[in-house]
Each structure stands twice: as C-alpha cells, then as structure tokens.
Structure 1
Amino acid sequence: MRPNTRRTTLADIAQAAGVSVATVSKVVNGRVDVAPQTRARVQELLHQHHYLAPVFRHTEVMESATIEVQFRGGLKSYVAETLEGIVDSAAELGASVVLSKSSHAPHWARDLVSAGRRAVIAITSVYSSAHLNELARAGLPLVVLDPLHLPDSRVNSVGATNFAGGLAATQHLLSLGHRRVAYLGGPAMAVCNQARMHGYRAAMEAHGAQVPGAYVRPGEFTYETGLRGATALLELPEPPTAIFAGNDEIALGAIESARARGLRVPEDLSVVGFDDTSLAQMASPPLTTVRQPLREMGAAALRIALQLANGEKTESHHIELATELVVRASTAPPREPTSAREQP
C-alpha cells in the first residue's frame, strides 16, 4: 500500500482496519485493552500508511522532548561517562532520555516516533543508508557521538580532536627520550582510530623515529586487545619501550601484559591511553592519557538533538571538542640510553 499524499488520520486507519477510531487511538497510545489480532492489524496499517502520531506539536516546549540514546556493545566506562553528560544536560534543559542498545528491527524508527521520541543520539553506532532513510521518512533527527565512520551529510555528529590527541600523546613519549614507540589501536577503519594513529605517525615522522610495520596493531577498543597486542609487541626481537594505546582499556591491557612478563611500568615500559575515563585514575600506576571531554561531548550531542527536534538549524554538521594530555605515573624516560642510530 502506497503512503497517502495527505497526512494519514486515525479515521483513515480505522476505516482500513474495520475498527473504531477509539480502538486505533488505544493502539497508538500503547493501551493494553485491545485484542492481540486487532492490535497487530492496526499496527501494520499504521506502518503501511507511514502514520506519525501528532505528538509534541508545541515543539518550543522543551520539557516535552524525549530523546532516545542508543549504544552498541557493553555499558563500559566510556559509554557511562558520555551518558552522564547527556543525562545532566537533559535534566538542566528539562528534557527526558530513554536508553537502549542499538536495534534496527523492521519499522524501528516509526516505532520510536510512536513511542514519543523526538530525536536519536547514537554513541559509536553504525547506521547504513537504509537506516538513515528510515529515520528521514519518520522525521526523526539523528546525532552520532564519536562516529566510527565518516557520517552521512544528513547526520549531525560530535567528536573530539583525535589527531591532535594522538600527536600530543606521541610527542610526550618522544620528549621523554623514547624512540621505539608502538601504537595499539581500535578498529582499523574507525575514523577516530585512524585520526589517533595519524597523529602518532606524524609525531614519529617529525622526530625522525622509525615505525616498523609490527609497531602498529589495530584491534578493538577493549582490554583484551591491549593484552594480546602488547604481548605480541613485547615478543618482538626489538620490542618498543613505549606504547600509545587507542583508549584507556587497551592501555590497561598493555600494562597487565607487561606485568605478566615481569616488566615494570613505567620503569621498563611507558604506556599512554586515550579518553581519561575513571579507569585512568584507578589504574596502577595512574595512567598518563589523552583527555577526551566525554561529558561535554554528551552534553553537546543532547543540545544538538533538541535543536533538531525543534526544527532548528545547526551551525555545523560536525563539531569537535578539544583533547588534552594528562600526565600521570605510567610514563617515564626509557631505562636504557637511546643509541646514536635511533637519534633523530
């Protein structure tokens, strides 16, 4: 059935389903006093007619806005701290937040609209063109926080200065005298990972330090990647004296791998992370890391989502917040003097 050229009404759905307008209204509003077969028939017609419930017509009333926040994977420290910024900002602005794991079941976007959602914030989630088309048909704005891939021009996104962060982390290690510096990163094709790696390479090249192929190892943004990757690096004939990790979890895995080999951090191996989650301060030793302003990024994503929900234009499709190197106790000069051939 093709969508109507005019806005579909409850009366249209009721006539097509052979039920009363009151019954259709109950289905739209999630009432339970409708027979399952009738409910299924009405819901299918709602989807076929691309029906959008006329909720939140007075969009200037921010208190009525409910934002869906979706994330993929586990509820880890990175996600939790980003959510803190979203929730705090929502409370300040009088909006509501509903949290869910990414799910793209049939008609998922229209189901969100029917449930009263005004916009979607996605944390490091991946959306295909089909997903974006469904969101567009439903009239549901999307804001991607720290996108894994270059976002579609239709998508607003919030990130951080990942290249500058990678540059600063590597320059710090080089300034301590390290020349054998490796990079343990996340997914090879992830935009944030590529930017951090390019920052690392730029710093190494500027100092004339070599980057053997085995010194750059992609993986996932997980503790296990740090464990496996650091183990492989430390087994090389010429292992690195320092590791720049793509996030704090990878860094903690690298520290544990060093400990398992009887190496001390930072005396035998320096480690730098990325994000500055609560894990960085609780690490032993406390982790030198690049602070990514996670709470501020979450707050920015929430404000942009509300702007889009209210039909307002944003100044830019993508904004980046500044990163900052935080020096703690996991980095120190290399134990053995750097040889003359390794000097820049």
Structure 2
Amino acid sequence: METSMNYHGKSGRLTELFLGDLAAERFSPEEYLPSEQKLAEHYQASRNTIRRIIGNLLDDGTLTRCDNHRVRINPEKYHELKAARAVPRQITLAFAYAAYPDAMISDVLAGLKRYTAEHDLRLQQLTSPTGHEPMLRALAHAGSLGIDGVLVLPYFMEEYVNVINRLADSGVAVATLSELPGTHCSSICSDDYSGAFAAVNRLIGKYNRPVHFFGPRGEASSTLDRYNAYCRAMTEAGFDREIKTHTSEIQAYGKDPESWTLEDKQERTAELAEAFLKKLKPPASIFCINDYMAQGIYRAAKRLRLEIGRDLTVTGFDDLPMARRLTPPLTSVRSPQGEVGYQAAALLHRLVAGELNIPVHLRVPMEVIERASC
C-alpha cells in the first residue's frame, strides 16, 4: 500500500503518527475508532484537524465507515498497513546556515552528527557562505528535498521570518538557533544572558569599578541578551548611571555573510578598538560581546602600548580556540555549542515524531573560563 500520502499543512505529521498508531494496534482493528473529540484530546489537536485526517483516510480506503456511521480500520487494508509500517522511513534532519564555517558552526554540527548517528537518522546541510538568497531558496524547498526537520541559523530579516513560518506551516519541523521574533517555531541556544551576567558581575566584583561594553548590541536575541545582562549587572552594582558612558556600540561587519571574512573580523575590529581605547583612562575593565571583539582590543592595545591584564582587564564571549592562544590567554564565556547541536537534534526528533505540539525555547547553561586577561 502506498503510504507517502499527499497530506498538506500541519496535519501531515499527525497523519503519519496516526498511521503508525493504527499499524501498532494502539486502536484495535476489531473495534470502532474513538470519537473525534477523544482523538483530538489524545493527539492534542483540534477536531477540525482530526476530521480532515479521518476524511483523507476514508478517501484512500485506510479507514471505512460502517452502517452505523462509526469508523474503523478497513480489514482489507490493515495487513498492508502493518507491512508498510514494518520498516519505517529513515528520518532526515538538516542544518541550514548562511555563513562561513567557523568554530561555532563546527561544534553545533558535531553535536547534530552525534545525535543523528546514535538514533539512526540522516543529516544534511543547507549552506551558503556568500549570501542569504541561496539559503532562503533552499529552505523554501526543504520539504520537497525529503527533509523532515531543519535547524536554522536565523537572522533578523523579514525574509527569514516568512520562509520559516511557511516551512513550519507546511509540516516540516523547524527549530532556530536563538529565538527569532515573528516566527512560531521552537528554538534552542546557549544561555547568553546568564553567561554574560556572570562575566560582567565577576569583573565588577574583582576590581570594584564600572565595566566598559565593547561591540554591537545588535538585533539577534543572543547579542541583545548579552547587552541586557551587562546592563543588569551594572545596575545591580550601582553603576546604572555609567551604562550610557561606558557603552561603545560598534558594528565591525555587515549583515551579509560575504562581508564576514576573517580579515574584517580582525583588522576592522582592531581599528575600531584603537579609537575606543584612546578615549579610556587605564586601568579599565572591558566586556566584549564576542572573542573577535576581544581580539581587536588585544591588537589595538599592543599598538597603543597598553598591557592586557594590567592596564586593561578583558573578558570575551564564546571561548573560541583563539581565546587560549592569545597573549595573555583571554578570559571568556564558554558556549557549549556541541551540546546545543545535540539537544537541537533531540528537539527536532521529538517535533518530527509529533511529541510536541507547541513551540518550546530551550537554553543550555554557559561557563566563565578564567584566564590571565583579567
């Protein structure tokens, strides 16, 4: 029996789950199916959705309506259904990102690979290092590519919101790396807010002075979380009046991946950091929005003959491989991206299986790694 039925919308995954339950004899083939209301409660779906699924299965002969108008499994189709479900189709997950591969993406991918290997799932990548358009086109056709669930590295762009919502509505399970306002899908990321708060609070407590913020406040939820945590730590320490004067909001590179070359992340950041440091009166404490910003501080400090760890105490974020190799090694907030990738795959797996019917937003704890920069 053909089981790859052409059901559209959100009922698609639920239809697959229902067929699996029929084949597994969760509903006895000798008895009538429960009422639409009871089925709706069981699957946490609306009666309209259940009615549409039953109608489709009546049309293709999987179910049959008896003389008393009750519905049951069609005995002539039952054994075909069990045989077709005996070897389930392998689930395919995907990781979609418009960016150059870097340490974060590599670690997330490693976590995804670990989970999919453990659970016999397929994993694909949808990538575009040169711009968003190829990525958006690939996402729009993810369902037709045989992808059951996709983890998306999102950007604060209306095009991403629209594509992600359409994809979720088509029946493909979607989760994003950090929340994207306007979407109605699940998300997962590291707990940037708590990590940043701990790092800034540590700097304040150790040196009893306000901390400078260096980097873009940005639009992404992770970046905003880091800046908001900085503001909270400063306010709780009694430095709320210094937040404005100690915030140096800079944008080192643009929105398109093609502008995120390593040279832009390093040299352009160093130029901005040099202008920033010329306005400071050492000793000073600096919280950088990420390790690339911190590396820019290092380069600028060397040009200005300022010593990291004495004239400037610096904390970065993400704990990229460079952090431990800088001189002196950089204190940074470690983002467990491998665990994020693993948990993201687990989340998608549950979404594909129909175990979650509402969006969930997961946060993975972070850790401040102390080194000689402060």
TM-score, normalization: structure 1? Answer: 0.71
Matched, 1:324 2:367: yes
**Contact persistence 1:121–1:144 (CA under 8 A):** yes
What's the offset of the Cα at 1:211? 2.5
**Contact persistence 2:96–2:139 (CA under 8 A):** no
Partner residue of 1:255 out of 298, 313, 322: 298
Match of 1:150 in 2: 181
Deviation string, structure 1 residues 175-212 (Cα, Å, up to 9, x no partner): 22152421123352221111111211222222223234
Match of 2:251 in 1: 219
What's the offset of the Cα at 1:304? 0.9
- In structure 1, list runs of 5 or more residues that go unmatched: 1-5, 9-56, 332-344
Deviation string, structure 1 residues 154-173 (Cα, Å, up to 9, x no partner): 21100222221121111111
Aligned residues: 275
Counterparts of 1:59 and 1:298, CA distance in 2: 30
Counterparts of 2:359 and 2:152, CA distance in 1: 18
What's the offset of the Cα at 1:137? 4.5
Secondary structure of the corresponding residue to residue 75 of structure 1: coil
**Contact persistence 2:149–2:349 (CA under 8 A):** yes
Secondary structure of the corresponding residue to residue 182 of structure 1: strand
Match of 2:333 in 1: 290
Percent identical among aligned pairs is 25
What's the offset of the Cα at 1:236? 0.8
Counterparts of 1:78 and 1:183, CA distance in 2: 22
CA distance change for structure 1 residues 133 and 91 in 2, over 3 Å: closer, same or farther? same
What's the offset of the Cα at 1:298? 0.8
**Contact persistence 1:185–1:193 (CA under 8 A):** no
Matched, 1:116 2:142: no
Matched, 1:81 2:124: no
**Contact persistence 1:67–1:120 (CA under 8 A):** yes
**Contact persistence 1:109–1:140 (CA under 8 A):** no
Secondary structure of the corresponding residue to residue 279 of structure 2: coil
Match of 1:24 in 2: none
CA distance change for structure 1 residues 191 and 156 in 2, over 3 Å: closer, same or farther? same
**Contact persistence 1:65–1:95 (CA under 8 A):** yes
Partner residue of 2:190 out of 151, 156, 160: 160
Counterparts of 2:85 and 2:141, CA distance in 1: 21
- In structure 2, list runs of 5 or more residues that go unmatched: 8-83, 254-264
Q: Which moved more, 1:320-329 or 1:222-231?
A: 222-231
Partner residue of 1:134 out of 142, 150, 166: 166
CA distance change for structure 1 residues 180 and 259 in 2, over 3 Å: closer, same or farther? farther
Secondary structure of the corresponding residue to residue 287 of structure 2: strand
Partner residue of 2:119 out of 70, 78, 93: 93
- Name the Cα RMSD after superposition: 2.9
Secondary structure of the corresponding residue to residue 319 of structure 1: strand
Aligned residue identity for 1:320: R
Match of 2:15 in 1: none
TM-score, normalization: structure 2? Answer: 0.66
Counterparts of 1:178 and 1:76, CA distance in 2: 36
**Contact persistence 2:191–2:364 (CA under 8 A):** yes
What's the offset of the Cα at 1:136? 3.2
Counterparts of 1:318 and 1:189, CA distance in 2: 18
